[in-house]
Amino acid sequence: MDSNLRIGFIGAGNMAYGIAKGVLQSGDVPPTNVKVSAPSRRNFDRFQELGVDLTHSNTELISSCDLVFVAVKPHLVETVLCEISHHVTSKHIIVSVAAGVTLEMLEGLLPPESVVLRLMPNLPCLVQKGALLFSRGTRARPEDGALLRSLLQHCGVVEEGPEAWIDIHTGLSGSGVAFVYLFAEALADGAVKMGMPSALAHSIAAQTVLGAGQLLRDSGKHPAQLRSEVCTPGGTTIFGLHAMEQGGVRAATMNAVETATERARELGRKASSTATQNRK
């Protein structure tokens, strides 16, 4: 990686902060080579702790950076790209982290020679345990993808795939984080119902989710295999699993991922339609 690479973040929310932390953690990119732009100083304090440069000007940022993460809400992407488009050259790499905003839309709002990638991280990037999936635009080269992967390696698991997978990843991992939190809450509530203090129940539920997830990732085993290893004939776990199956947990979870995925696709269609109308 070029030690002189200059990285910018348009937007100062959670995703920008999590990615910036991961990028700086490698030590390959000094804080002085990172710049963050936002319209207000509301979220600047934590970035100041990272030692990065701060600005309120998106055009100043794009003019002084090589790789730029567009980390704003989806409905603001068109406004931001129209603002910076006259300053984007073929030497820039633009990475969008906005849900539902397609590569076609991004490339349509930028100059024809623009190099664009679409990235979907999730909230655990804040603690460098994220699941990130990216896709390359029509003019992005394999080495551009390799550079992005290298920059993000400390943010968590980073994978590349076709754009059709991005919305699925949103339903699985982006929204899936909230599904896990709901499950953890219910797990703790069950313990509270049986007489355990709430604070202890939530602490143990959090550790249970953390430990189960790490074992699943590190063992390389299928979830069903690990599940069977916990069960003993006539034991507590198989009785509990039977109750979960009666409650439809498996089907409800699959439906949640499907519904979230379809919503991501719907948002993408709306964003593309709006952008098309605005360009007419």
What are the pLDDT digits (tens) for 194-218? 999 999 999 999 999 999 999 999 9
pLDDT band at 280 (very low <50, low <70, confident <90, very high): low
1 pLDDT higher than 70: no
What does the pLDDT look like over 182-198, one tens digit per residue? Answer: 999 999 999 999 999 99
Is 131 annotated as a binding-site member? Answer: no
Predicted pLDDT at 269: 81
In the predicted model, what is the mean pLDDT of residues 58-66? 95
What residue segments make up the domains of the chain, in order of their start? Answer: 7-161, 174-259
Q: What topology does CATH give the domain 174-259?
A: ProC C-terminal domain-like fold (1.10.3730)
Helix or strand or coil: residue 10? Answer: strand
Is 58 annotated as a binding-site member? Answer: yes
Q: Using only C-alpha atoms, what is the Rg of the chain?
A: 21
Is 71 annotated as a binding-site member? Answer: yes
Is 240 annotated as a binding-site member? Answer: no
Return the residue matching tokens 């593309």.
Answer: 272
Is 51 annotated as a binding-site member? Answer: no
> CB within 8 A of 189, min separation 6: which ones?
201
pLDDT band at 259 (very low <50, low <70, confident <90, very high): very high
Least confident of 53-67, 244-258, 261-275: 261-275
At residue 242, φ and ψ (nearest 5 deg) are -60, -40
Distances (CA, A) of 35 to 31, 45, 118, 152: 8, 14, 20, 16
What does the pLDDT look like over 129-170, one tens digit per residue? Answer: 999 999 999 999 999 999 999 999 999 999 999 999 999 999
Number of Cα atoms under 13 Å in the Cβ half of residue 26? 16
Helix or strand or coil: residue 133? Answer: strand
Is 11 annotated as a binding-site member? Answer: yes
Is 255 annotated as a binding-site member? Answer: no
Is 72 annotated as a binding-site member? Answer: yes
pLDDT band at 171 (very low <50, low <70, confident <90, very high): very high
> CB within 8 A of 88, min separation 6: which ones?
62, 94, 110, 111, 114
Is 205 annotated as a binding-site member? Answer: no
Instruction: Name the residue type at position 280.
Output: K
Predicted pLDDT at 26: 81
In the predicted model, what is the mean pLDDT of residues 80-103? 94
Assigned architecture for domain 7-161: 3-Layer(aba) Sandwich (3.40)
Is 7 annotated as a binding-site member? Answer: no
3 pLDDT higher than 80: no
| Averaged pLDDT of the chain | 94
